[in-house]
C-alpha cells in the first residue's frame, strides 16, 4: 500500500517547527509528500513550502497569520511550547494554551470534514482529571483576551507550576472540544510525551533537577527522540486514525502505565527512591 498514512499533497501546518518535536514533525511530513507550512517564533531549517515567524503570545499577530493561511487545511500539528522558568507563568500559558487555542479556533473555518488537529501536551499533566473543575473554568473562557485575563486573575494558582497547568488544561480542552469539533468531521487529539531530547530539556533539568526528570523516564530507561513523538502525532492526524478522537495519548515509554499499576511509586520517586 502506497502513501499508507495519506499525506501526499495534503496541506498541513506545524507550529514549533524550528526545533525539537515540531522540526521533526515538519521534516517527516515533507518526506511523506505533504505541503507543509511551518510556524514558529524562530526561523526553521526544515525545507517547507511556507515558513511564517509568529509569536504565539501576540493576539494581533496570530490573527494576521490565521487570515493569511489558505483553505483547505487538512492537518494542524501544535508543537510550539515553552517550559516553566526562566519564562513567566503568563508567557507559558499564552504559548502553551491560550495562543495555540486561539490560532486553532481561527483556522477551524478553513478545515473540513476529515481534517484533524493534534497538539503536544506532556506527561507532566498526569492526573489532570482530578483537577477537572478548575481546568474547565479556563477551558470554558473563550478567546485570547479573556483567557489571558483569567490567567492574570489566577496568577497565584499558576505561580507554582504554570507548565503542568498549561498541559493539564490542554488535555481537558482536547477531551471537551473534540466532542464539538467532530460535529463538523474534524478530529482533535493530543499526545502526552515523557522526557524528550530537545532544546527544552536543559530548562527542565535546570529547574526541576536532573534526578526528577530522570525519575519521569520510567521503565524504558531512556529519553525519547523528537521523531518518536513526531510519529504518533503524524498517525493521529492521518486518515488512518479516522475513529480516534478526543484521545489524550500517553507517549512516555510506559511510565504512566507503571505508575497506574503500582510498579512505580510516585511518592518514593519524588523522594528519590525511584523504581520499585
Ligand atoms: N522535551 C520534553 O521533554 C517534552 C516533554 C513533554 C512535552 N514537551 C512539549 O513538546 C512540545 C515541543 O517542545 P520540544 O521539546 O520540541 O522543545 P523545543 O524547545 O525544541 O521546541 C519548542 C518550539 O516552540 C517554539 N516557541 C517557543 N515560544 C514560542 C512563541 N512565543 N511563539 C511561537 N513559537 C514558540 C520554539 O521556538 C521552539 O521551536 C512543547 O509543547 C513541550 O512543552 C516536551
Q: Where are the domains of the chain?
A: 11-205+225-254
Q: What end-to-end distance do the CA atoms of the chain give, in Å?
A: 44
- Phi and psi at 274, nearest 5°, equal 75, -150
97 C-alpha to ligand 1 centroid (Å): 12
Question: What pLDDT is stored for residue 275 in this prediction?
Answer: 43
For ligand 1, which residues put their CB under 6 angstroms from it?
16, 18-22, 40-42, 54-57, 79-82, 95, 120, 122, 193, 195-196, 198-201, 226
The atom number, within ligand 1, closest to the CA of 166 reads 43
What cell numbers appear for 159 in the block?
Answer: 505561580
The atom number, within ligand 1, closest to the CA of 196 reads 3
Please, what sign has the CA dihedral across residues 53, 59, 60, 65? positive
Distance CA 276, CA 262 (A): 9
Considering only CA atoms, which residue is closest to atom 2 of ligand 1?
A: 196
215 C-alpha to ligand 1 centroid (Å): 21
27 C-alpha to ligand 1 centroid (Å): 16
- Class at the top of the CATH hierarchy for domain 11-205+225-254: alpha beta
Nearest Cα to Cα of residue 126 among 188, 89, 171, 160: 171
The atom number, within ligand 1, closest to the CA of 15 reads 34
Q: What's the average pLDDT block by block, 10 residues per block, for the chain (276 residues)?
A: 94 98 98 98 98 98 98 98 96 98 98 98 96 97 98 96 97 98 98 98 92 89 97 98 98 95 84 47
Considering only CA atoms, which residue is closest to atom 19 of ligand 1?
A: 200
- DSSP annotation of 196 reads B
Helix, strand, coil percentages, rounded to 5, for the chain:
50, 15, 35
199 C-alpha to ligand 1 centroid (Å): 8
200 C-alpha to ligand 1 centroid (Å): 6
Question: What pLDDT is stored for residue 265 in this prediction?
Answer: 85
276 C-alpha to ligand 1 centroid (Å): 31
Question: What pLDDT is stored for residue 267 in this prediction?
Answer: 80
- Phi and psi at 116, nearest 5°, equal -145, 150
Question: What pLDDT is stored for residue 208 in this prediction?
Answer: 87
Amino acid at each position: 500500500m502506497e502513501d499508507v498514512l495519506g499525506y501526499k499533497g495534503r496541506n498541513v501546518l506545524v507550529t514549533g517547527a524550528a526545533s525539537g518535536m515540531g522540526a521533526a514533525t515538519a521534516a517527516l511530513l515533507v518526506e511523506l509528500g505533504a505541503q507543509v507550512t511551518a510556524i514558529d517564533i524562530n526561523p526553521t531549517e526544515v525545507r517547507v513550502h511556507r515558513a511564517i515567524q509568529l509569536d504565539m503570545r501576540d493576539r494581533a499577530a496570530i490573527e494576521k497569520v490565521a487570515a493569511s493561511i489558505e483553505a483547505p487545511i487538512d492537518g494542524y500539528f501544535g508543537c510550539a511550547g515553552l517550559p516553566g522558568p526562566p519564562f513567566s507563568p503568563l508567557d507559558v500559558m499564552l504559548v502553551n494554551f491560550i495562543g495555540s487555542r486561539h490560532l486553532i479556533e481561527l483556522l477551524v473555518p478553513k478545515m473540513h470534514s476529515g481534517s484533524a488537529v493534534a497538539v503536544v501536551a506532556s506527561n507532566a499533566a498526569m492526573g489532570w482529571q482530578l483537577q477537572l473543575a478548575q481546568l474547565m473554568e479556563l477551558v470554558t473562557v473563550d478567546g485570547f483576551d479573556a483567557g489571558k485575563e483569567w490567567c492574570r486573575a489566577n496568577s497565584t494558582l499558576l505561580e507554582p507550576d504554570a507548565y503542568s497547568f498549561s498541559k493539564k488544561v490542554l488535555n481537558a480542552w482536547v477531551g471537551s472540544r473534540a466532542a464539538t469539533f467532530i460535529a463538523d468531521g474534524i478530529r482533535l487529539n493530543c499526545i502526552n510525551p515523557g522526557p524528550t531530547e530537545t532544546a527544552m530539556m536543559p530548562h527542565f533539568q535546570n529547574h526541576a533537577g536532573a534526578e526528577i526528570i530522570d525519575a519521569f523516564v520510567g521503565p524504558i530507561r531512556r529519553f525519547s527522540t523528537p521523531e518518536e513523538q513526531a510519529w504518533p502525532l503524524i498517525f493521529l492526524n492521518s486518515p488512518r486514525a479516522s475513529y480516534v478522537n478526543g484521545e489524550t495519548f500517553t507517549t512516555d515509554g510506559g511510565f504512566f502505565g507503571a505508575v497506574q499499576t503500582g510498579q512505580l511509586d510516585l511518592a518514593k520517586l519524588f523522594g528519590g527512591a525511584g523504581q520499585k
